[in-house]
Every structure is written in C-alpha cells, then in structure tokens.
C-alpha cells in the first residue's frame, strides 16, 4: 500500500475505519458475537482508501461495541455502521441498519481535491441474515446476508449481498473468510463517482455520468484470538474490486485505483 498516509482527527474520526469497506463491519461484529457475553467494547486502528476509488491510504480509528439481550437480540456499532437485531433466533437476524459516509473534502490527490467537496451522509436501511451454526461447535458457522441502504445525501440506494464463514482452528483462535457483491443505483453511483459542471470545481477532470449496476465485488479475511478470559485481539483484511461505471470513473481510472484494500487491527473487552 502507498506510504503517503494521513491521520484524521475530529468527532467522526473514530467512525471511518470501515467507511469505505462496509462489509468489514459485519466481520468485526461476528467476531465479537463469539464472546457469548452480554456486552463487548473495543477499538481498532487501520488504513482505508483516502476516498471511494482512491489509490492512496488514510490511517483511521474505529470503535467496536455490542450489547446482547433476549436470546440473540443485539445492538451493535462497528466503525461507521450501527445495527439492531430484533429477532431472538440462532438462525435468523433482521432489523434496522445505518452507515455513516464521511465528507470528501481534503484528499491527498491534488486533482480530486480541486473538485467541489462532497458532504457527509447517513445511509439508513434494513438487514437480514441466515445463520447455519455447527451443532457441535457454535464457533463454526456460515452466514449469508443482505443489507439495503438509502443514502440521505445522494437520494440513491445501495444493496450488499455477502457470505461469511467462521472456523475455530485452535482453542484460542477463530479464522474468517468471506466475500460478496455491492450494487448501487444511478443516483448513488453518479453522486460518488460522476463528474459534472456541478462538482468538477477547478480539477479539469472530464465530464462523466456514472450509471448504476454492480459497484464492487469483495473478499474479506481475518481472525480473532483469545488473549485471556476477558480480552481478545482481532485483525481483518478486505480487498475489493470496483466494477462498471465506478471503475471507469475519472476519479478511479485516471486518478485512483479500482482495487480497494483496507486493514484493521484491534482489541475487544467483554463483560460476562
């Protein structure tokens, strides 16, 4: 990954580590789920693309929190994403979900930085999961899920489909592998990847109307390690490949990279 990195500060800095990698929120949350305890809290540090489609990295911080009640219901915050599972079931999850997108106002690429700023936004939607646990060991499980979001800034829609597999490999270590696809509509895609007289600023980038469709395919990998009775460490990697007009946008094709890589390491503490 490029060595040119900057560290953001401010009220929302702790929310950004998965802002460009929304699926990572699920991965961290499921790692915390393995605690089988009422409450979990933690934090991580990592690197993410400087903006959607950037070829440069930004260092960031992220909070982790999960509170469980009523046989599987929970409220969870992981990085930029918050969700509430309303279903008391070992096999199904369903509830509201929200994600925060930081503003694009101070990026390392000087040409993209000369575009007009993009305001921060909140995406609100609903998610659902199906879980297949190993009857002999609930730490081993496969989850398939969908999450649909409505973005308040672009008035566009984003849909995420993915599968996640967890496997215990030792008394203290669980490994994760996963992957999925993200679809976005015309409004969402053009807002974040389009170039037009309303946002080109002084960048000189050519006009480009970005249409919706398959936006990204991605893979995730990582692990959770038991340090002692109350503490666990985690490491998560996500690699995505932008598709369609997101990939062909001048912000990506001319100034960035369609390959998007993010990484986070952290620690979580549990209350039993």
For the chain, list the domains and their CATH numbers. 13-271 (2.40.160)
Reported confidence tier of residue 97, pLDDT bands at 50, 70, 90: very high
pLDDT given for residue 33 in this prediction: 66
| Residues with Cβ within 8 Å of residue 8, at least 6 apart in sequence | 16, 58, 59, 60
Higher pLDDT, 172 or 34: 172
Query: In the chain, what is the straight-line distance between the N-terminal and C-terminal CA atoms, in Å?
Result: 39
Residue whose C-alpha is closest to residue 39's, from 90, 81, 74, 71: 74
pLDDT given for residue 79 in this prediction: 84
Tell me the CA distances in angstroms from 10 to 88, 131, 164, one per residue in order.
37, 37, 32
pLDDT given for residue 24 in this prediction: 55
SS3 212: coil
Tell me the CA distances in angstroms from 261 to 18, 67, 89, one per residue in order.
11, 29, 34
pLDDT given for residue 15 in this prediction: 42
pLDDT given for residue 243 in this prediction: 98
Alpha helices by DSSP H, the chain: 23-33, 110-113, 186-193, 244-248, 250-253
At residue 154, φ and ψ (nearest 5 deg) are -90, -15
In the predicted structure, residue 37 carries a pLDDT above the cut 50 = yes
* Placement of tokens 């999850």 in the chain: 93
pLDDT given for residue 253 in this prediction: 97
Which tokens is 198 given? 């309303």
Mean pLDDT computed over every residue of the chain: 88
pLDDT given for residue 26 in this prediction: 55
User: If you average pLDDT over residues 26-50, what whole number do you get?
Assistant: 77
Reported confidence tier of residue 221, pLDDT bands at 50, 70, 90: very high
pLDDT given for residue 168 in this prediction: 94
* Placement of tokens 């592998």 in the chain: 177
Reported confidence tier of residue 225, pLDDT bands at 50, 70, 90: very high
In the predicted structure, residue 200 carries a pLDDT above the cut 60 = yes
Strands (E), 116-156: 121-134, 137-151
State what percent of residues in the chain have pLDDT above 90. 74
SS3 32: helix
Residue whose C-alpha is closest to residue 262's, from 6, 52, 20: 20
Q: In the beta sheet, which residues pair with residue 126?
A: 96, 148
pLDDT given for residue 272 in this prediction: 75
Reported confidence tier of residue 205, pLDDT bands at 50, 70, 90: very high
Integer Cα distance of 194 and 176 in angstroms: 35
pLDDT given for residue 232 in this prediction: 93
Which tokens is 46 given? 């990592």
In the predicted structure, residue 152 carries a pLDDT above the cut 60 = yes
Integer Cα distance of 238 and 177 in angstroms: 10
SS3 188: helix
User: If you average pLDDT over residues 62-89, what whole number do you get?
Assistant: 91
Q: Which pTM does this prediction carry?
A: 0.87
Reported confidence tier of residue 126, pLDDT bands at 50, 70, 90: very high
122 in Cβ contact with 79 (< 8 Å): no
């Amino acid at each position: 990954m490029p060595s040119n990195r900057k560290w953001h500060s401010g009220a929302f800095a702790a929310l950004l580590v998965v802002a460009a990698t929304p699926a990572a929120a699920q991965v961290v949350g499921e790692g915390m789920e393995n605690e089988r305890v009422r409450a979990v809290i933690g934090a991580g540090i990592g690197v993410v693309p400087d903006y959607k489609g950037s070829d440069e990295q930004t260092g960031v911080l992220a909070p982790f929190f999960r509170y469980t009640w009523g046989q599987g219901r929970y409220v969870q915050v992981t990085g930029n994403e918050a969700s509430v599972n309303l279903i008391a079931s070992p096999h199904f999850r369903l509830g509201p979900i929200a994600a925060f997108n930081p503003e694009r106002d101070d990026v390392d690429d000087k040409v993209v930085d000369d575009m007009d700023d993009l305001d921060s936004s909140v995406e609100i939607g609903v998610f659902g999961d199906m879980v297949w646990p190993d009857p002999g060991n609930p730490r081993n499980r496969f989850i398939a899920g969908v999450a649909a979001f409505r973005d308040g800034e672009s008035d566009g829609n984003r849909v995420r489909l993915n599968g996640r597999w967890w496997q215990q490999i030792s008394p203290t270590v669980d490994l994760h592998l996963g992957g999925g696809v993200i679809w976005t509509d015309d409004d969402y895609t053009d807002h974040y990847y389009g170039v037009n007289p309303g946002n080109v600023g002084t960048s000189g980038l050519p006009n480009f109307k970005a249409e919706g469709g398959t936006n990204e395919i991605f893979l995730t990998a990582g692990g959770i390690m038991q340090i002692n009775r109350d503490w666990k460490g985690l490491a998560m990697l996500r690699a995505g490949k932008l598709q369609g007009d997101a990939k062909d946008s001048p912000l990506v094709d001319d100034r960035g990279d369609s390959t998007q890589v993010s990484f986070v390491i952290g620690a979580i503490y549990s209350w039993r």
